[in-house]
Structure 1
Amino acid sequence: MNIRRVELSLLPSLMGAALLAAATPANARDYFDPGLLALMGGQAATTDLSAFETSGHIPPGNYLVTLFVNQVDLGQHQLMFHTDDTGKTAPELTPAFLHKVGVNTQVLPAFSGLPTDVPVNNLQALIPEASVHFDFAQQRLDLSVPQIAMQANTQGAVDPALWDHGVPALLLNYSANGGRNWQDSQYDDEGNKVQTNLFTSVRGGLNLQAWRLRSDMTYTYNESRGGSPAQSQRTQNTQFTNTYVQRDIAALRSELLVGENNTENDVFDSIPFQGMKLNSSDDMLPTSLRGFAPVISGIAQSNARVTVSQNGNVVYQTFVAPGAFSYQRPVPDRAGR
């Protein structure tokens, strides 16, 4: 009678232990025995296969990847992948490389003070809404960066770093004319008169890297001999005008000129001057920015299409990555230009 009572008292404890064991989650992972790689029962392999135990894990190393930034193919790049503190393998992205592929690292406050050649630890912490995804099977690396953090990509614009100043050259353009007149006397040789005239105009220049040297030279020669009484006169004059040195200032989209030149005559009459002139050059701007261009901004919740229309006509359309975006697009005139 006493033994049965003890067995009944232990039954609730055993049931509680069983329920506790069933509720406790069990952690497990795939494991491959390297000894199975040994042939004919030879010595067991010592290769470390831990990198392949986790699904989707990428071994660290150097990879040739096809880079896509906001779904735009930027070609193949050789990148180093390393394992971070969380055990995940991520590409080494330096601020210099991000700027090269279009990220506006020179303006973003998060990149201020960071070394340009040291990889960033967490791109998402520096640029909110940014993401990095690597497809190991296709060797494809996708970077999604909000458009507001990208460099301005104006239609028709060319990076000033790709501008070519041209080859060194010496330029010369000239014009010359002259004449000689004889006037014979009817009485004697002493009354004969000869006049010689010569005029030469030379437009010269020198191109050396970004500098442009220009100068105009005029040369006049006049000689008169003979007459009654006999006399001889000779005059010659050499004069340099419009001599100046000019170069482009790409950062300001302007031109710098030092020397002799004339002011523009768009509004007032042209005035010659000697000194220095710094003026904007519309030729350095893309065609799409040579007019009124309003700023269009917003926030995209996902990869979205932005359409700009005027009077029911679509004037511009583009796709943006998730996050904030800002575009400056021109508005055509009534003629649709």
Structure 2
Amino acid sequence: MKRRTDCYKVTLLFLGTLYSAIVYADDEFNPGFLVGSAVNTRISEAKNTISPGVYKVDVYVNKEWKGNYQLKVAEGNDLFIQKADFFKFDIKTETPSETLPSTNAQGWVLLTLFLKESEFKFRQNTFQLDITVPQARIIVHDKNWMPPEQWDKGITGLFTNYNLIYTDGNYKNSSDQSSLYVTLNSGFNIADWHLRDKSYYYHNKSNSSWITRARYLEKSFPAINSTAKAGEDYTSSDWFDSFKFRGVALIKDLSMLPDSYRLYMPVIRGVAESNAIVKVIQNDKIVFQQSVPAGPFEFADLMPTGSRSDLSLVIEYANGKKTTAIIPYSASGNLLRSGSSDWALYAGKFKSDYYFKNNNFVQAEYSRGLNNSLTIVAGSITGENYQSGLAGAGLLIPYLGTLTTSYQYARAKASGAHARGGKARISLNKYFPTRTSITVSATHNEKNYLTLSQSDSAAQYVSAQTGYRVQEQNSFSAAIDQRLPEGYGSLNASIYATGYWNTSKTSRQFSLGWSNSYNQISWTVNAGRRIYTDSSLLEQEKRTAVYHDESYGSISVSIPWSIFNHNGTITAASNIQGSQHSSSVGWNETVSERLRYNLLASSKSSDRASSSGYVSYTSPWSTLTGNLAQSRNSTQYGFSASGSLLLSQHGLLASPQTGNHFVIIDAPGIADAKVNGNASIVTNSAGKALLPYATPWRKNTLYLNADSASDIEGNIKKVAPWKGSISYVKYITDTRKTFSLRATNSNGVPLTFGASLYDKQGNELGYVAQGGLIHIKADTLPDSIRVQTDKTHACLIEEVVLTGDNICKNL
């Protein structure tokens, strides 16, 4: 009998312990910080309901954001998605799109027709749809690329990027000198129509001028992956020389395309004899691996890894058989992926010297990646007095690297003079596994070969008149960068030489450098020789130019140091150039994320000792700098200011940074919040900030770091702006204060958990948490609170106090 009693005691003790653990776990549940408008969806354990309707939700597939889409919630919490939207999530389905039924003409489809219930979850409190599927069902795209339907055209606005530089000085035996230089890169946007103006102003005591470098209207056309512009600008080409023109242009914009199309990487092709594992190896590391069935395979979405070594393709079979092949790879800007293309078209009048000629022209070029190893290009320039044709190719050669070559033939006439000739170019890029990078290039200009810009002065090139212009004949350059073993730094060397027609002299430059670091101490050593001319005209009599021959060398050291609890860097440098030498020692300190300064003492063989100081401060509106230099013969000082200004329907905003792709951040009531952790981009007193350097055509993630007690509902936003656009991103914020107090009913019993709270006007304030603890959000503590325990029962708290007891009396 005693044994049975003891058994009962043990059983009751175990059940009591288990019950207390359950109660404890329940008491630990504390969703009390979810208040206000989130009450209806705040406690899924209690209600788990959301009103039927259509909601805008953020969709995540395997934790990757896919965009903001509409989700329909029906009675019974059934979820529906637009048929067209689902196929933007890059999830493979077995059911073809055209065979899927829809519930109505709007195209709503039950989500379970695409996914199992276990593969998705709708988070009602954050309006987020999480989808989790096996990786094999994911259609692979570039991480930050988004389909054109998700690109944001932006809003109307006027902006300018400015840079103002003022310098002044007092010089011994000469008059004081002052100058002002202002650059303005401005624009006016009306949706996806963009007007651009790039100008600068220069002023000193002798003259002043206002120069417009470019002014044009621009519009992008994603349907053909191109951008059109009309006005004045400069041509841009990897093959032709650039010049200023007035006219129209249509240019393919490769940045609109996924990186797997835009950036060069070989397309991996092969044939598997049976089921196998395909591996792509670079520098003894697997950069890609995939199981394949018997038959041909192709992988066209490999992305650059940062290395430029050749790739190895390995096919491993279940029976142990292995085949290996080398895939040449050397990243080059002139190589395109297999099957991809690039093109540009310009038409108008070109500008020679300081005015536009009546010489109309048309320039066209087209390049295409034929396969992994060959990219071809063709182009032409046709004008009234100038014609030119170009053909070229980029070739990837195993063990040799990337070879790029082109030949351009041109003929021109002006003032009765004729000129004909060609230009040949060849370059080689190679990266070796020994971490050696080599670049070699050479150019040969035939006599009387002229560019379009030179063609207007053809007479000065082909006649013997005074002022015969220097015409380049040959140029050669080579550069090598070598990373040494760990702890020994890196070496670099380069050579450049240019020869001219009608003279035996050449311009040459040789350089050699070594850099390294040890225990945060870094140093750089450079040496070289320059032989050059500062004249662009040959003297008619001697047919020679004035040449300079000088050697140079330098050494610089940077040492971290702490002085009087100030952490900074001591720098020292010594330079020799020809017969001149100089040395300096300085102190650099970053005081804060916004403020830094530099002090420098130096001496020169021509001016003895001098001292200088520099300070830079990044305010929320502008980047400001000041400098002062003092020597025996002169005193110089100056200041600068740079940043951007933008005017739109959301007011005038400023940023200390500059850029061409703007995002207006709007978090009402949240002041001094950092955007993406950047201390120079912070919200103003109204909660607005200007980010001027978003990446166009790509997903930009924007998050706020706020120190205030105000709430930001979902502090991460995503936007994919058009090129040159002004996007507007608004955060949902709650700037009300949070109050916590305790209350009981008239019998001293804690109020019902989960009961809703209202003020006199019927505005929802919060709810009742565990143990009768009340959490409310309001601008000020209300005089009274109505507690709605259910549809028919309510009580009222009058004379609310934060400390002490609050009694809720039945109504």
TM-score by length of 1: 0.42
- The structure in which a higher percent of residues are strand is 2
Q: Which is higher, the Rg of structure 1 or of structure 2?
A: 1
Higher RCO, 1 vs 2 (CA within 8 Å, ≥6 residues apart): 1
